[in-house]
Amino acid sequence: MKLTIDDVRSRFIKHLGGEPGSVYASPGRINLIGEHTDYNGGFVFPGAVQQGIIAEIRPNGTRNVRAYSIDMKDYVEFSLDDEKGPNATHFRFIYGVAREMMKLGVPVEGFDTAFAGDVPNGAGMSSSAALESCYAFAINDLFYDNKIEKMELARVGQRTEHNYIGVNCGIMDQFASIHGKAGNLMRLDCRSGEFKYYPWNPKGYKLVLINSCVKHELKGSPYNDRRRSCENVAKALGIETLRDADWDMLESVKDKISEEDYKRAKYVIGEYYRVLAVCDALEAGDYETVGEKMYETHAGLSKDYEVSCEELDFLNDIARDCGVTGSRIMGGGFGGCTINLVKTELYDTFVRRAVSLFKEKYGKSPVVIDVVIGDGSRKLC
Ligand code: GAF
């Protein structure tokens, strides 16, 4: 994390006055494979990154929250008992988390807070989950003696997206932000909630993100439509989620569902099998298969799930032309980054080529982000 405690503390004191409070951090995430599977009860394979949110928080003995966003240079004051909450999205995350914690019986009190982040916005690295997880973790620590278990804190963040932001997301991002562990990816079964850490140390390979800087915002994007398509197909099949579907079942309802819903489900079922194949390949140290599956995911996300864009397809083509082992859209799509599994000796050539060809075509440089797998939500001081 480039951001330091002092960056946040100095503004906290400047804008909110008084004594220092407690400081918490929560990261953004990457996802190796398993995209749009979380809300379908499937598997995901995320890891926390070093970039994240840092927030300083100090209970103020009132029912009000006084919050300063260092990045947006924006201040708000709202009551915890207000039914509507603030308008600005960056403050609604805090309001939503506090209200969801109150619904769980947490005796949340008013607090003063300042926060900043270094997860690039709209990159598909989950800056919003970082913010939600940071406040859920902090409120649990400050007002409830950490009595709420981590998976429930992740659900608080997810419900904040559903109930206060309007994005019907799955659990992956908040799960990853809360549970992240340096040097480890995690395989989460989104149906049972069971997860396993996978040490991530692929000798001879690097993970690098290329941010197209096409702004991805899930709010108002067709993200919710994708989820609805999956639910339509599950309903036609008489099952709870597409986790329980296979190819034959999908074919059996082909005539009863729209062509569009069919394509969405086709991608999701394929992705379920791809994640399992990647788990086996990782256990065998077979990164070629991991990479192949990443390319297959990209093709599915682009052609069947239709959440790619011209710029991301272009970056994916460059990766393939350069001989990069694996490459695909990462996160919800509609812009943001590709994630690339690159042999160390190819790294410089690939990055140089991707930047220059992209710039030549679109007139602006994409941003290169080296992936370092970091820790999940924590108290810094
Ligand atoms: C977004 C959502 F928030 C996640 O829940 C997940 O569905 C992801 O898109 C796609 O895999 O990040």
267-320 per-position pLDDT tens digit: 999 999 999 999 999 999 999 999 999 999 999 999 999 999 999 999 999 999
Q: Is the pLDDT assigned to residue 201 strictly greater than 80?
A: yes
Q: How far apart are alpha carbons 312 and 302 in whole angstroms?
A: 9
Closest-lying ligand 1 atom to the alpha carbon of residue 37:
11
**Ligand 1: centre distance to CA 172 (Å):** 6
Q: Is the pLDDT assigned to residue 217 strictly greater than 90?
A: no
pLDDT for position 2? 81
Residues 6+ apart with CB under 8 A from 102: 80, 108
Q: Name the strands in the sheet holding 378-379, side by side, starting at the edge strand that comes first in the sequence.
A: 74-79, 64-69, 111-117, 46-59, 22-31, 378-379
Domain 205-370 of CATH type 3.40.228.10: no
pLDDT for position 215? 84
Averaged pLDDT for residues 329-345: 96
pLDDT for position 121? 87
Residue having the nearest C-alpha atom to atom 8 of ligand 1? 332
How does pLDDT run across 153-164, given as a tens digit for each residue? 999 999 999 999
| 254 bridge partner residues | none
Closest-lying ligand 1 atom to the alpha carbon of residue 38:
7
**29, 38, 158, 187: residue to mutate for ligand 1 pocket, most atoms within 8 A of CB:** 38
pLDDT for position 216? 72
Residue ranges of the chain that CATH labels 3.30.230.10: 5-199
Closest-lying ligand 1 atom to the alpha carbon of residue 218:
1
**Ligand 1: centre distance to CA 332 (Å):** 5
Averaged pLDDT for residues 222-241: 97
* CB distance 67 to 56 below 8 Å: no
**Ligand 1: centre distance to CA 376 (Å):** 18
Per-residue confidence band for 51, with pLDDT thresholds at 50, 70 and 90: very high
H or E, element range at 185: strand 184-189
Q: How far apart are alpha carbons 13 and 16 in whole angstroms?
A: 5
pLDDT for position 85? 98
Closest-lying ligand 1 atom to the alpha carbon of residue 31:
11
Three-state DSSP at 161 gives helix
**Ligand 1: centre distance to CA 13 (Å):** 35
The class level of CATH for 5-199 reads alpha beta
Closest-lying ligand 1 atom to the alpha carbon of residue 161:
3
Q: Which residues lie with the beta carbon below 6 Å from any ligand 1 atom?
A: 35-36, 38-39, 126, 169-170, 172-173, 218, 331-332
The phi and psi torsions of 327 (rounded to 5 degrees) equal: -160, 140
**Ligand 1: centre distance to CA 170 (Å):** 6
Residue ranges of the chain that CATH labels 3.30.70.890: 205-370
Residues annotated as catalytic are: 173
**45, 172, 264: residue to mutate for ligand 1 pocket, most atoms within 8 A of CB:** 172
Q: How far apart are alpha carbons 327 and 343 in whole angstroms?
A: 12
* CB distance 217 to 64 below 8 Å: no
Residue having the nearest C-alpha atom to atom 3 of ligand 1? 169
Averaged pLDDT for residues 144-159: 98
**Ligand 1: centre distance to CA 190 (Å):** 12
